[in-house]
Amino acid sequence: MISNLIILGHSAWIVFVGYEDGGKTLLFMTDNMTGPERVCAQDVFCETCGGETDESRGFLFVGEKKEQKDPGQIYRDAIINLPGLLTTRTKSYCFGASAFRAWADEIESGRYDAMKPEEFDSWFIYCNYVCVPATNASCCHEFLNRARRFNPDFAFIGQVDQIYAKMQRMWQTDPDGLEAIGGGFNITLEALQDRRRRDRIVAKIREFADCAEEVVRILKENLPSENPKPSV
């Protein structure tokens, strides 16, 4: 599995932040909400609704809240954890620069050379990889800004933010960006089977790997020597 690691949530995701009526009502928020909204717990966890299968799922927390987490520490721990996460590599999966390079190697190895059009599921075998850097580069900025506001000694986060802003341009708006050269969400099988076009896409993906390495370098050079507190 190749993944370059999603740092934070997406607007389509829902986070349950509390409950009322002994758990009968759940409170939830998304990243674009300023306060929680309410939903009936039965509607969230039911197997069928109106006779049709309902794919909605969530988490159920049993019991009273045991402690109040300090938001500043939560953000601090998340930043401290990033170098380890972004350099994770196992036999089954990898993150960060290794993931970008594995993605580029996969394209370059000829995976798509003999693929037939009817076998080409663009989202499943390619665009889901694009989605991760696109989400990180577009959506991480508020997270990074909050982490810096809660932790003034983490001023270096501004440098990390600049790199992700650069990655957003590399994906979306640069004249030679991933979308502009046909290697983003607009990918086609023809592009992956054309050696010249494929080489440009591979080179751009490896530029993303360099950016990921730069993020890790900044973090390692500036983070204090402290271990994050357990999240639970």
190's tokens: 């023809």
Domain with 79, as residue range(s), is 71-222
Q: Rounded distance, CA 154 to CA 157, Å?
A: 6
- Sign of the Cα pseudo-torsion (221, 99, 167, 34, in order): negative
What DSSP character marks residue 111? T
In a domain, 160, yes or no: yes
Distance from C-alpha of 180 to C-alpha of 207, rounded to nearest angstrom: 15
Q: How far apart are CA 77 and CA 147, in angstroms?
A: 10
The mean pLDDT values, 10 residues at a time, for the chain of 232 residues are 38 70 83 82 63 50 72 94 95 94 95 95 94 92 95 97 97 96 97 96 98 97 75 46
For position 4, what pLDDT does the model report? 41
Instruction: Give the model confidence (pLDDT) of 25-72 as tens digits.
Output: 888 887 777 888 888 887 776 654 444 444 545 555 556 667 778 999
For the CA atoms of 222, 226, 227, 232, what is the dihedral angle to 10 degrees?
-100
Residue 173 lies in a domain: yes
DSSP H helical ranges for 3-156: 41-45, 71-86, 96-108, 122, 128-150
User: In this predicted structure, what is the pLDDT of residue 67?
Assistant: 77
Domain count, the chain: 1
In a domain, 22, yes or no: no
Query: Does 2 map to a domain?
Result: no
Q: Which of 60, 58, 14 is nearest to 33 (CA)?
A: 14
| Amino acid 41: pLDDT | 80
For residue 20, is it within any domain?
Answer: no
Residue 12 lies inside a defined structural domain of this protein:
no
Kindly state the tokens that stand for 18.
């509390």
Judge whether 229 lies within some domain.
no
Residue at 6 is within a domain: no
4, 100 contact by CB (below 8 A): yes
State the CATH number of the domain containing residue 182.
1.20.120
